[in-house]
Amino acid sequence: MKRNQGNSNRNLAKRRRMVGLTQHNLAKESGVPVARITYAETGRLTLDDSELDKLDAVLRKRAAKAMDAVSA
């Protein structure tokens, strides 16, 4: 299934900040180069599906940890 990549890229910065990650931290945890994250967040680059999957996995994991901390 093809994603709406423009929408995914626009939401990346918002989701990253919501879970308390810097671009550098997200890059380190996901394996996606920080330059590609920066360019995607500023609209200069569209990430491919595999990169979005890697970023999404990290962001979901972080969000789950945050929810666990709140409910504990």
Instruction: Count how many domains the chain has.
Output: 1
pLDDT tens column, 54-69: 999 999 999 998 777 7
Residue with tokens 């945890």: 29
CATH code for position 14 = 1.10.260.40
Angle at 66 between CA 61 and CA 67, to 5 degrees: 100
User: Could you tell me the pTM of the whole model?
Assistant: 0.82
pLDDT tens column, 5-61: 556 677 899 999 999 999 999 999 999 999 999 999 999 999 999 999 999 999 999
Domain hosting residue 64, numbered range? 5-71
